[in-house]
């Protein structure tokens, strides 16, 4: 299943700058793991991104899917937070087009699995190149 999978940091940071909509413009569907949903929406109910992610899920462009490769999740969990581990495991399982990660260790490990990765900076650069935003300031 091609598509885009996101960790919490990308969602939170884009929401903070009012640009979460760029994910929807670039990808029909954004998939997140339940651990990411929990971090952003349930535990972060007063933080940037919470309402936006919940609204995206209601509108159908954000989908919550649980990874099933438990051994991989446990292996990744030795070095990463739960949301990052679940995000990478889900990207491996679904053979996704791109995984959105901002933390350097998560990006390094995603590279081990040959996952195409991007983050907030990559999304903003693409938006600038495609004239969806006028400035990177």
- pLDDT category at 2 given cuts 50, 70, 90 is low
Token pair 């938006």 is found at 127
State pLDDT tens for residues 80-132. Answer: 999 999 999 999 999 999 999 999 999 999 999 999 999 999 999 999 999 99
How far is 77 from 12, CA to CA, in rounded Å? 21
Superfamily of domain 4-129: 5'-nuclease (3.40.50.1010)
DSSP helix/strand/coil, 137: coil
Per-residue pLDDT band for 137 (boundaries 50, 70, 90) equals: confident
* Domain residue ranges in the chain: 4-129
- CB count, 10 Å around CB of 111? 11
pLDDT (0 to 100) of residue 21: 92
The CA distance from 73 to 92, in Å, is 11
pLDDT in tens, 40-80: 999 988 887 889 999 999 999 999 999 999 999 999 999 99
Q: Tell me, what's the pLDDT at 60?
A: 93
Of 20, 22, 25, the C-alpha closest to 9 is 20
What mean pLDDT, rounded, does the chain reach? 92
């Amino acid at each position: 299943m091609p598509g885009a999978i996101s960790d919490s940091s990308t969602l939170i940071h884009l929401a903070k700058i009012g640009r979460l909509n760029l994910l929807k413009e670039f990808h029909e569907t954004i998939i997140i793991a339940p651990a990411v949903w929990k971090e952003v929406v349930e535990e972060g109910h007063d933080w940037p991104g919470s309402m936006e992610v919940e609204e995206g899920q209601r509108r159908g462009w954000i989908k919550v899917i649980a990874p099933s490769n438990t051994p991989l999740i446990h292996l990744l969990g030795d070095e990463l937070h739960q949301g990052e581990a679940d995000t990478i495991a889900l990207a491996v399982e679904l053979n996704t087009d791109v995984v959105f990660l901002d933390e350097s260790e998560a990006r390094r490990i995603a590279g081990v699995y040959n996952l195409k990765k991007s983050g907030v900076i990559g999304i903003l650069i693409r938006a600038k190149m495609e004239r969806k935003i006028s400035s990177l300031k």
